Chain A
């Protein structure tokens, strides 16, 4: 049994009805688990303290968030990425975000002090937030808070980011961090926000060779994604020897996602999550924290994260989803929902995509492996 960290206050992290980053995703998921008869009994975290936020973000930026949070954003808020289309501000934004950061921190504490091995944080994954910049729906960087906590306990961390967007916030906050291995698999920044995450961004100073980016072609499907994951991730973990894994499990590489162009099915996600669990058993005695992340198709994100939940609980995967749940959310969202946990079948990449991804990943390894000696 993997403990689940969650707080109803997570639902306050809400940018409004038109915004794609919606807490409805967690509500659908929790409703699904409860409808299926799972006792949903999460560990309730405290919000992160102001000091914990300040360990990541500049004083000027935190003041901007606090001002915006009272409904009076400062005139230069947009210099800090606030009051923008992606990060509009709302009453209580500071506290709402601190609950999410507190949750990821709490999960990290449970793993670091040995009270749990694998923990699922049902929120967070705000990987775009930078030192003094809100970006890509992210206000405070909960992942960096967890990384800092682990490092403070003397643990070496491998951060694995499978969100379809490059994990730029975490990368830049830890670009020269020698105790953190970053692995980000994403759609190429040539086509997708935030534009970074090339194979040449490999870290700086003592962190050189520790920041690995696998930029994948639009159209990358199950086969090629898993192939490139295998080429890079196990190899890097075996070399680095982490004490704990931190996984940002964004669900937006799914083929139904409206904001990106990878084509993963739930079959790839199942294989990916099983492999991550296996790798944590092999390298970190099972120690791993999983967070959520992007995922903008409600039907797909809910099924991907339900899969993650069942795999972490070591429970059999359901085939068909409960009809009353399907009816309820179909009416609410005015959309059709996939009646089964899995998509009908795995997806296949074009030959051109497979060849291109192979070449990119090989060039990545040629660049970083010499730094590993």
Chain B
């Protein structure tokens, strides 16, 4: 899954000479929390609703007037991504820098935005249920060829795999969650166990 699969665009933008008040109203109007700031069509900064509220707050040591231009309060070194970056890379970037969005750049051109909300949507799509399915959990050694063993045994039962999720466990083990197009997961689990696999769901009789 790539950034282009989950991003949304075109982005709502403002220019450097937009006032804090107008920037805030733009956020309210478009129901967004981040605005990329452009100057001559180039990305020069980004401003968040939190930046605006703090800049104008009585808690700020020298509060700004709402007439001031956003260039005074925006962040200038903007962290960005590209449409072809993997989603997990974008997520890692946002986590590492503790930021809530990434402008998506194609060369110098801003083509969209990816936010934390888009990443949540991606999780729902990755783990979600597009079709009625049963669930099988298999614990595998984290070594080459293990998943191929599972797939071959499932194939032998003529069952279709709708999705596969894996996550690492302790002791060099990986938990693999299959969503399969059968209600009768018990029969499939029995076949996998006969093939020597450690099926952790459904439980044995």
Contact = CB atoms under 8 A, between A and B. Distances in A.
A193 B183 contact: yes
Main secondary structure of the interface of B (DSSP, over half): loop
Interface stretch (B29-37, B67-75, B130-138): B130-138
Interface in B168-205: 179, 181-186, 201-203, 205
A194 B133 contact: yes
Instruction: Kindly name the residue among B135, B181, B183 whose own CB sees the greatest number of chain A CB atoms within 10 A.
Output: B183
A71 to B, nearest CB: 19
A195 B184 contact: no
B184 A192 contact: no
A298 interface: no
Interface string B148-159: 000000000111
Contacts of B179: 195
Given A20-B184, A85-B159, A193 B133 contact: yes
A194 B183 contact: yes
A192 B203 contact: no
B134 A193 contact: yes
Contacts of A102: none
Interface string A70-85: 0000000010000011
A128 B132 contact: yes
B57 interface: no
Given A84-B160, A85-B158, A191-B201, A259 B184 contact: yes
A136 B132 contact: yes
A255 to B, nearest CB: 11
B42 interface: no
Contacts of B202: 191, 261
Contacts of B203: 218, 261
A135 B132 contact: yes
Interface residues of B, number: 21
Instruction: Kindly name the residue among A78, A84, A133, A193 whose own CB sees the greatest number of chain B CB atoms within 10 A.
Output: A193
Contact of B135 (A168, A192, A258): A192
A136 B132 CA distance: 8
Interface in A209-227: 218
A20 B133 CA distance: 17
Instruction: Kindly name the residue among B129, B158, B159 whose own CB sees the greatest number of chain A CB atoms within 10 A.
Output: B129
A193 B132 contact: yes
Given A191-B201, A196-B129, A261-B203, A86 B184 contact: yes
Interface string B25-65: 00000000000000000000000000000000000000000
Contact of B183 (A78, A165, A190): A165
A137 B202 CA distance: 19
Nearest to B179: A195
Contacts of B133: 193-195
Contacts of A191: 135, 201-202
Contacts of B181: 84-86
A171 to B, nearest CB: 11
Contacts of A190: 135
A53 B103 CA distance: 51
Interface of B: 129, 131-135, 157-160, 179, 181-186, 201-203, 205
Nearest 4 pairs of A and B residues by beta carbon: A194-B132, A193-B134, A193-B183, A195-B129
